[in-house]
Structure 1
Amino acid sequence: MIRWRKGTVETIRREWPGAVELAVSIDGDGAHRALAYPALVGRPEPGDTVLLNTTALAMGLGTGGYAMVIAIPDRLPPDPSGPGHLVKARYTPLQATVLGADEQDSPHHETLREADSLDGMPVIVADLHSALPPILAGLLAARPGTRVAYVMPDGGALPAWFSMSIAQLKDAGALAATVTVGQAFGGDLEAVTVHTGLLAARHVLDAEVVVLAQGPGNLGTGTRWGFSGVSAGEAINAAGVLGGRPIGSLRVSEGDKRERHLGVSHHSLTAYGRVALSPAEIVVPELGGEFGTRVAAQAATLGERHTLVPVGVEGLEDVLRRYEKDWGVRMSTMGRRLDGDLAYFLTAAAAGRHCAAAASSGV
């Protein structure tokens, strides 16, 4: 289950809030990329001996193909101090204690204790983490200054620190804060469930809009139900039952070589069509041509339960390219950039564009 290795830190390659990327010499296997989370294991320095989990590296995972630093055995970090009773990554060797916004010792406990409504706040739900930047681009281009929080459930990466995009979007002012829920951790706020995470975003962070999508590294098996994005349907239900305004962003691809993801992905059709029981606004991009006709026909199957909202994509490619440059955020999904799968990014940006109108309406 775990491939254990010992290595020596050669250099620090780069770092961003919560994470340090290293070049590590692994005994008998040469130099490789490694990733450490200083809050969990301390800060590695060149020359340190490190214990590594090389499972993802050996599997060649595109998103998470790092050797992960488990410990710096000769220089352990100090014991944690301060409040916090939520244990995340529970009963794993790296279980961590955090302060939950909803727990009794939190200064926000009284705010959340009886909180029960999102007051009509729009909640944009997407399957993949890579949808976050284009959704924000479409939203902020149409409604600059909108205060947006990102709620990250535990379907992909558990540490929010793994996402360089989160750090870059916050640094650029595009994202106000992150709430990590379930077993995920490392956000500006921690919460036990998606429900309290949404409520914390609204009532503690004063978010006007929430984007909810799993962290990097989603899991899929090619079966109808065996994919972590099923949680997108559950998120629609949570937003609906809390009196929010659920908005579904479709996962659309023209560049994926897998038939099940061409056009509207089966992930979206299952999550929104079978799992989401609460009505939502499903944004259907007006992509044009034969491919756009295919997307519209596939999305039409969701119309029995949800409201389908056609949204034009004119001008959005320029918006995406401008924000990619201005924010320093790489628009990429499954290794494909803007030119490799423009339809994916236009679809996510269209959800943001529609949400801008929804937020402006004050509903």
Structure 2
Amino acid sequence: MLSLKIGIVDEIYKQWEDITWIKVKIGNKEEQAVNYNKLTGGIKKGDKVVINTTAVDLSLGTGGTHFVIYNLSVKDKKLKGEGHIIKLRYTPMQFKCFAAEEQESPYHNIIKKFKSLNGLIVAVGTLHSMLGPVAAMIKWLKPNVKITYIMTDGGALPLPFSLTVKELKEKGIIDKTITIGHSFGGDYECINIYTGLIVAKEVIKSDVVIITMGPGIVGTGTKYGFSGIEQGYILDAVNTLQGKSFAIPRISFKDKRLRHSGLSHHTITNLNEITYSRVNLILPILDNEKNKIILNQIESSKIPKKHNIMFVDGSQIEKALRYFRLNITTMGRKYFDDKEYFYALGATGKAIAHQLQQNR
């Protein structure tokens, strides 16, 4: 069940076109909440709101904030905007959006005539924190490339919740965004990963596409019970449409959970069992001991036979992050706390930049 409470908006401390961060008074306590302006309407100080407190009640990390689901102070709530595709379907929060595929869209015929991605470079990750470093490395090495981010519905559904995406767009690191499935709020809305990729290629004319879920990943400590398993079948989708696929590896030697030590089981499970087509896996060059651990993990799997593996020096990621003044964290850890994680992302970005150079 939902956990719902009524509060009074006490302060508006961040406000953009799609999202407003507020302080709301619940009884005698002032707590943080989020209002999605295009979902629940505008909001102002003094408004009486119904908020969903479920995430905070469960003491969750990412997403551990309240969310406005109804503003009792706004009387006029009329259906606005174009489109007829429903997202969050058959829930109390279902809403319509204008999908790029629908018949009234100016892109409908372009999508219908699609034939092939024709080698479009697509990098697929499992964590939202992978987006910034990979994109920054590519853009630092190849400033004129057009990078599109496709956000899946494996994590946060509203793209405006991601402060990372906002920063990357403001700094010109990513150029356009697409939200697929039940995620929403991108520059383009699409129904699934296939049409999302087609829009990235045919409408946006992207040079590189990076695909990850939004903030927050669901995990259960079981082999298949994690939302990042989507990486496996998304890589196959890229190859089905004749793109050039890169699997972004998750590597850490600072994560205390054994299943994520070295090359994470997320990467191993996806590439060993879930992905059927051949993809490119770029691994970072680390010190001898850590490289040996990763090699042992790979050699005990089917990955070397199924996929293309290349080792690349990703240490320049520090310079790329510093150049763009990015302070990306993963599981609360910064660059100096978990260098190998970032080296893996730098290596992937560097390999993609090299591939772009070869394609010219």
TM (norm. structure 2) is 0.96
Residue 8 of structure 1 aligns to a residue in which SS? strand
Kept after mapping to 2: 8 A contact 1:42/1:76: no
Displacement after TM superposition at 1:330 (Å): 2.9
Match of 1:333 in 2: 330
Structure 1 position 77, deviation (Å): 5.5
Match of 1:133 in 2: 132
1:242-276 Cα offsets, whole Å, 9 max, x none, are 01000011011122111111111111111122111
Q: Which residue of 1 aligns with 2:114?
A: 115
1:23 maps to a residue whose letter is K
2:91 maps to: 92
- 1:349 aligned to 2:346? yes
Q: Confirm or deny: 8 A CA contact 2:313 2:343 kept in the other structure.
A: no
Measured after TM superposition, the shift of residue 17 of structure 1 is: 4.5
Does residue 4 of structure 1 match 2:4?
A: yes
CA RMSD of aligned residues (A): 1.4
User: How far, CA to CA, are the matches of 2:82 and 2:314 in structure 1?
Assistant: 47
Deviation at 1:163, TM superposition (A): 0.6
Q: Identity of paired residues, percent?
A: 35
Structure 2 SS opposite 1:355: helix
| 2:13 is aligned with 1:13 | yes
Gaps of 5+ in 2: none
Tell which deviates more after alignment, 134-143 or 294-303.
Answer: 294-303
Cα distance, 1:123–1:154 mapped onto 2, change above 3 Å? same
Q: Encode CA deviations 1:40-68: one digit per residue, 9 max, x unaligned.
A: 01122111111000000111211111101
Aligned length: 358
Post-superposition offset of 1:71: 0.9
CA-CA distance at 1:76 after TM superposition: 4.3
Q: Which residue of 2 aligns with 1:171?
A: 170
Would the aligned equivalents of 1:180 and 1:190 in 2 still touch at CA under 8 Å? yes
1:254 — aligned with what?
A: 253
Alignment of 1:1-363 (within 5 A): 1-27=1-27, 30-76=29-75, 78-300=77-299, 301=301, 302-323=303-324, 325=325, 329-362=326-359
Task: Give how far 1:297 is off.
Answer: 2.9
AA at the equivalent of 2:6: K
Give the C-alpha shift of residue 338 in structure 1.
1.2
Deviations 1:174-201 (A, max 9, x none): 1111111111111100111100000101
Instruction: Report which stretch shifted further, 337-346 or 142-151.
Output: 337-346
Query: Structure 1 counterpart of 2:213, which letter?
Result: Q
Distance 1:267 1:77, change over 3 A: farther
SS at match of 1:303: helix
Q: Which amino acid aligns with 1:354?
A: A
Shift of 1:291: 1.9
Amino acid at match of 2:68: V
Amino acid at match of 1:241: T
Secondary structure of 2:348's match? Answer: helix
CA contact (8 A) 1:121 1:359 kept: no
Question: Hey, what's the Cα distance between the residues in 2 that align with 1:206 and 1:321?
Answer: 28
Q: Deviations over 1:56-105 (max 9, x none)?
A: 01112111111011011121454233321111111111111001111111
Cα distance between partner residues in 1 of 2:336 and 2:169: 25
Q: Out of 284-293 and 58-67, give the one that drifted further.
A: 284-293
CA distance in 1, matches of 2:215, 2:274: 22
What letter corresponds to residue 252 of structure 2 in structure 1? S
Which whole-Å deviations, capped at 9, do the CAs of 1:115-148 have from their partners, x for residues lacking one? Answer: 1311101000111010000001211122112100
Which range moved further: 62-71 or 340-349?
Answer: 340-349
Rounded to whole Å, the distance in 2 between the matches of 1:42 and 1:293 is 54
List alignment gaps of at least 5 residues for structure 1: none
Which of 1 and 2 has higher RCO (CA within 8 Å, sep 6+)?
1
Letter in 2 for 1:2: L
Amino acid at match of 1:51: V
Q: TM-score, normalised by structure 1?
A: 0.95
Secondary structure, in 3 states, of the residue corresponding to 1:213? strand
How much does 1:33 deviate? 0.8
The answer to whether the 8 Å contact 2:284/2:347 transfers is: yes
